[in-house]
Amino acid sequence: MQASDTKQVRKKQSKKPVPQLVETQPSPIDEVLHAPLIDQAVNPIPLLQSDQEKVEQRGRPKKYSSQEEAERIAAEQRSRAQQKYRIQRQEFRATANDLQNQLTHLANTNN
């Protein structure tokens, strides 16, 4: 028997139909997959008063009671930050000037 003969035999064997061992039966998952969507239900369940309150309470609680209060506090924070940065710039300039004066003094004393 040659190699080509074995290939032909194998091809002939592979063309036989495979017997199905398990019978297909409808499963519970098929019922779930083909069920109507919740949004398409005929009678939607109304929310109770307590359920509506829970929905409103979800998420982060409001930090400020009104828009005006939030804007006022934001303006105060900006003002404090500007003042803080102004002081930092003044201190930096003063330090830089002091260092420059010390360098000039050292340069003058060495000459």
- Average pLDDT of the segment spanning 70-89: 97
- DSSP one-letter string for 51-67: HHHHHHH-SPPPSSSSH
Confidence band for 86, pLDDT divided at 50, 70 and 90: very high
Domain segments of the chain as ranges: 68-111
* Token duo for residue 97: 């000037």
Per-residue pLDDT tens over the stretch 31-65: 766 666 665 555 555 555 666 666 566 777 788 88
CB atoms within 10 A of CB 107: 9
**Which of left, alpha, beta for 67 (phi over 0: left; psi -120 to 50: alpha)?**
alpha
* pLDDT for the residue numbered 55: 59
* Token duo for residue 12: 């002939």
Q: Report the predicted TM-score, pTM, of the whole model to 2 decimal places.
A: 0.41
Position 66 pLDDT exceeds 80:
yes
Cα dihedral sign, 37-39-44-50: positive
Give the span between the Cα atoms of 12 and 6, in whole angstroms.
10
51 burial (CB, 10 Å; 0-12 / 13-18 / 19+) is exposed
Per-residue pLDDT tens over the stretch 2-25: 555 555 555 555 566 666 666 666
CB within 8 Å of 73: residues ≥ 6 apart: 64
* pLDDT for the residue numbered 67: 92
* pLDDT for the residue numbered 110: 84
